[in-house]
Amino acid sequence: MPHLTSARAGAATTGVRTAFGIPGYAHPLLAPAQWAELTRPGIPLHWVALDVAGGPGSRPDPHCLEAAGRLRNAGVRVLGRLDTAYGARPHGDLITDAHRYHDWYRVDGFLLDRCPTDRTALPWVRRTVAALRTVGDEPHVVLGHGTHPHPGYAENADQLVTFAGPWTDYRWSQVAEWTADYPPDRFCHFVHSVPRGHLDEALRIARWQGAATIYFTDRTDRGGRVDPWETMPGYWDDIVSRVGTGVSE
CATH number of the domain encompassing residue 151: 3.20.20.80
Does the pLDDT value for residue 194 go beyond 80? yes
For residue 133, tell me if it sits in a domain. yes
For residue 249, tell me if it sits in a domain. no
Instruction: Please state the rounded mean pLDDT for residues 141-158.
Output: 97
For residue 230, tell me if it sits in a domain. yes
Beta-carbon contacts of residue 246 (< 8 Å; ≥ 6 apart): 18, 203
Taking only the tens place, the pLDDT of each residue in 4-19 is: 443 444 444 456 799 9
Does the pLDDT value for residue 87 go beyond 80? yes
Does the pLDDT value for residue 50 go beyond 90? yes
> What's the pLDDT at 15?
62
Q: Is 120 helix (H, G, I), strand (E, B) or coil?
A: helix
CA distance 223 to 71: 32
Beta-carbon contacts of residue 91 (< 8 Å; ≥ 6 apart): 124, 127, 128, 131
Instruction: Please state the rounded mean pLDDT for residues 63-85.
Output: 97
Q: Which carries the bigger pLDDT value, residue 6 or residue 49?
A: 49
Q: What is the greatest pairwise CA distance in the chain?
A: 50
Instruction: Please state the rounded mean pLDDT for residues 92-101.
Output: 98
Beta-carbon contacts of residue 74 (< 8 Å; ≥ 6 apart): 38, 39, 41
Q: Is 247 helix (H, G, I), strand (E, B) or coil?
A: coil
Does the pLDDT value for residue 246 go beyond 90? no
For residue 1, tell me if it sits in a domain. no
Instruction: Please state the rounded mean pLDDT for residues 206-230.
Output: 94
> What's the pLDDT at 13?
47
CA distance 70 to 66: 6
Taking only the tens place, the pLDDT of each residue in 103-133 is: 999 999 999 999 999 999 999 999 999 999 9
Phi/psi at 51 (5° precision): -125, 110
Does the pLDDT value for residue 40 go beyond 80? yes
> What's the pLDDT at 65?
98
For residue 193, tell me if it sits in a domain. yes
Residue of 236, 181, 238, 171 whose CA lies nearest to 210: 181
- Asked whether the CA dihedral 191, 197, 203, 204 is positive or negative, the reply is negative
Domain that holds residue 169: 6-244
Encode burial over 210-249: b for 16+ CB neighbours within 10 A, e otherwise. Answer: bbbbbbbbbbeeeeeeebbbbbbbebeeebbebbeeeebe
Percent of the chain, pLDDT > 90?
A: 89
How many domains is the chain built from?
1
For residue 208, tell me if it sits in a domain. yes
> What's the pLDDT at 245?
75
For residue 144, tell me if it sits in a domain. yes
Instruction: Please state the rounded mean pLDDT for residues 214-240.
Output: 94
Tell me, what amino acid is at 36? A
